[in-house]
Structure 1
Amino acid sequence: MEKANELIGEMAFHNQVLPEDIPKIDLYIDQVIQLFETSFADSKRHPDEKILTKTMINNYAKGKLFYPIQNKKYSRNHIMLISLIYQMKSALSINDVKRVLDGINEKAEQKEIDLEQFYESYLVLQQTNAGSFTTELKRQTQQAADQVEQVEDSTELARVLLIASLVHTSNLYRRVAEKLVDEMMKKGEEA
């Protein structure tokens, strides 16, 4: 259980681009990158890892993952959409992310949705998920240790079991997300 607490202490659950961190003025691409680098600094696996690059943002724009920018500047809404893309792309394909965000993009561009309110709802869910994750990680860590407690070198075996269990859990969540994307696509084709 000590290992779970240690891991939880090292996790950067608080890292996010918060609405209050986004300037009220539109930003150039370098400013957007700096905002993300600052906001997600603690969640890097390696110090030289890049959170966001010009190429990534340009590819998102070319792929129409967010609605067009004006005068080479990114609005608050664009930054919130880029944050959602950043979070989703780790589990979904870029095409799936585009499918998920198509309706939101359309409504945001037409000003038919308060994107900041939607984004704040996402952040609330994210905090709830972090709490649930903490509880579940402790449970899985204890369960892995219990499975190998009688075996020599049980610490290493427990770590491997825990990694395998976490990857499996991650895959289950990813597969559910993909199924929901497929259902969105099916409903879209039927309409």
Structure 2
Amino acid sequence: MKNIDELLSSLSLTNHISLQDIPKMDLYIDQVIELFEEGFKETKRDKKEKILTKTMVNNYAKGKLFFPVQNKKYSKEHIMLMSLIYQLKGALSIKDIKDCLQILNKEIVESDFNLGEFYESYLHLYFNNVSTFQDDLQEKAEAVREKLDSIDEKNKLEMERTLLIASLVSTSNLYRRAAEKLVDEISDEEDKS
């Protein structure tokens, strides 16, 4: 199994799109895609992977995951929402993302809602989560080693890796399920009103 520090380094956990990365002027779709490709290029599993495509953006627009675009240009708010969508789509369905972001979209369109402040809060929590994740991954790797310490197998390294993968996936599933329950609460409240 890779050294955990090497694994953490290879994850490029600090890659993101900050408010400072987003131009003040509205962008055409190709410029938005370029911004995302540059901002998240280190997070790709392989070089062929696309972070964002025209088809994805069009599907987000058709699915009403963000408020309507004006003159084929995407505002700073659109880009912040797309960044949130990019993060959320790793765990939630498109329907869940739409439900989750509907209040933001409504507030952006109907009031003076400062999405920038909300986005900064999200990034702050993201970096706190990165720190927690790094510590947790180290602990999980150590727990796996301890569980398999008594095994004198030639395939011990592969067994460690497989057990750590299973542990990480089960943890991920627990967080995903909790997020889905919170989205369900949004949907239930929407149905009641």
TM range (shorter): over 0.9
Deviation at residue 186 of structure 1 after TM alignment: 1.1
What is the rounded CA distance, in whole Å, between the counterparts of 1:27 and 1:143 in structure 2? 47
Cα deviation, residue 59, structure 1: 0.4
* Structure 1 residue ranges (4+ consecutive) displaced by more than 2 angstroms after TM superposition: none
2:41 aligned partner, one-letter code: A
The one-letter amino acid paired with 2:142 is Q
Residue 189 of structure 1: which of 163, 188, 191 is its match? 191
Structure 2 equivalent of residue 90 of structure 1:
90
Aligned to 1:159: 161
Distance in 1, matches of 2:14 and 2:111, equals 29
Separation in 2 of the partners of 1:15 and 1:8?
A: 13
Residues 149-158 or 66-75, more deviating: 149-158
1:90-111 superposed Cα distances (whole Å, 9 cap, x missing partner)? 1000000000000100101223
Q: Residue 62 of structure 2 aligns with which residue?
A: 62
Q: Using the TM superposition, give the Cα deviation of residue 188 of structure 1 relative to its aligned residue in structure 2, in angstroms.
A: 1.7
Q: Distance in 1 between matches of 2:53 and 2:37?
A: 10
Q: Is the 8 A contact 1:65 1:98 kept in 2?
A: yes
Question: What is the match of residue 139 of structure 1?
Answer: 139
TM-score by length of 2: 0.96
Over aligned residues, Cα RMSD in angstroms? 1.2
1:39-76 CA-partner distances (Å, limit 9, x unpaired): 00000000110000000000000000000011000000
Distance, in Å, in 2 between the alignment partners of 1:2 and 1:28 is: 41
1:71-110 mapped onto 2 (5 Å cutoff)? 71-110=71-110
Q: What residue identity is the alignment partner of 1:190? A: K
Alignment correspondent of 1:127: 127
Give the corresponding residue for 2:10.
10
CA distance in 1, matches of 2:82, 2:126: 16
**Deviation of 1:143 (Å):** 0.6
Q: Is 2:34 the counterpart of 1:34?
A: yes
Indicate the residue corresponding to 1:178 in structure 2: 180
1:112 corresponding residue in structure 2 = 112
- Inter-partner Cα distance in structure 2 for 1:146 and 1:45: 29
Indicate conservation of the 8 Å contact 1:33/1:54, yes or no.
yes
The residue type paired with residue 164 of structure 2 is L
Aligned partner of residue 68 in structure 1, secondary structure: coil
Distance 2:118 2:179 in 1: 19
**67-76 vs 142-151, which moves further:** 142-151
SS in structure 1 opposite 2:3? Answer: helix
Show structure 1 runs of 5+ residues with no match: none
